[in-house]
Structure 1
C-alpha cells in the first residue's frame, strides 16, 4: 500500500484497489477492454472479434464501460447509423493492470479438472 492512509480494517467500496477491480469485473469485460485497447471499433466489429458474446450481453457490457467512464460511444453519420466505441484515457490506463493480471494468472496456473 502507498501509505497508512491506504490501510483499512475492512473492504471499502472507495478503496482504489476495489474500484479498479470493480472496473474490470464482469464476464467479457476484460476481453472487450483488450479489443478496444487497439483502437475504436463498431458494435459489429466487436461481435466479429468475440463471436461467442451475445448481442444483449455485448450491449450491456459496453453500457457498463460507458457508465464507468472507461469507454465512449460515438454515433457516426450516415445510413444506417453506425456506432464506434473507444476507450477513454481512464480506460486506456487499465492496460498495465490487465497485463499484470494476465502475468499473475499465468504464474498461478490454470486449475485442473475436479
Structure 2
C-alpha cells in the first residue's frame, strides 16, 4: 500500500478534548485546508477543484471532500451552468475564512524567498490578497487590477474593506502587471506602491495604487 493509499485508509484523531485538536481532526488532514481555500473563492465542480490543487490524486480529493462533507464543512449543490454537482462551503465552513487569513498573514516570512520551483496559480491570490489587505479602508472607493500570468484580478477597496475577484468581463482602467512576489509584497506592506510600479508594468493612473497602498 502506497503512502497516499494509507493516508486515505486511516482516519486519524488526536483524541483530545481541546478545541484546536478537534478542529484539526476536521481540517488538519493534508489537502483539507487547500480545498477550503479553493471553495472560499466560490463553488466549484470536481474537475475545477482538482485543477486548482496540482499534485492531489482523484482518489484522495474524493476522500477529503467526503470527510469535509460528513463533518459539515462542505456541501453539494446544483451547478446551474452544467446541471452537474458543485461543491461549496457551508455557513460553518465559511467561518474558516478568518483562520485561513491568519495563516496567510503568518506565512509572510516564508513567502519572501519566492516560488523556488513550487507551482503557482493566479486565482490563489484572491484569498491571499483579501487576507493580507484585511483592515484596509478608503473613504472614496478605489479599484485597480493585478495581471499575473495572463489572469487579471480586480481589487476594490472602499469603506467596508477590500473585495477581490477574478475579472471576467474586462479590465479596470488601472492595471499593474507583475510577478506574484511583487503583488504579495505590495499587499503585505513589504513593498511600497512606487517599488511595485518599478518592478512591474503599470497601465493607467498610479494614484489609484497609491490611494490603496499608500501610507
**Larger fraction in helix:** 1
TM over 0.5: yes
**Aligned partner (choices 34, 39, 49) of residue 36 of structure 1:** 39
In structure 2, the residue matched to 1:25 is 28
Cα distance, 1:102 vs structure 2: 2.8
Question: Does residue 64 of the first structure (1) align with residue 67 of the second (2)?
Answer: yes
- Structure 2 gaps of 5+ residues are 1-13, 112-215
* TM-score, normalisation: structure 1: 0.71
CA distance, structure 2, for counterparts of residue 45 and residue 35 of structure 1:
9
Cα distance, 1:103 vs structure 2: 2.6
Q: Name the Cα RMSD after superposition.
A: 2.6
CA distance, structure 2, for counterparts of residue 102 and residue 23 of structure 1:
19
Q: How does 1:43-54 map to 2 (within 5 A)?
A: 43-54=46-57
In structure 2, the residue matched to 1:8 is none
Asked if the contact 2:44/2:86 (under 8 Å) is kept, the reply is yes
Cα distance, 1:95 vs structure 2: 1.0
- Structure 1 gaps of 5+ residues are 1-10
In structure 2, the residue matched to 1:73 is 76
Larger radius of gyration: 2
In structure 1, the residue matched to 2:163 is none
Task: Sort the Cα spacing of 1:40 and 1:14 in 2 relative to 1 into closer, same or farther, 3 A.
Answer: same
SS of 1:37's partner is: helix
In structure 2, the residue matched to 1:102 is 104
In structure 2, the residue matched to 1:92 is 94
Cα distance, 1:28 vs structure 2: 0.9
Task: Sort the Cα spacing of 1:104 and 1:21 in 2 relative to 1 into closer, same or farther, 3 A.
Answer: farther
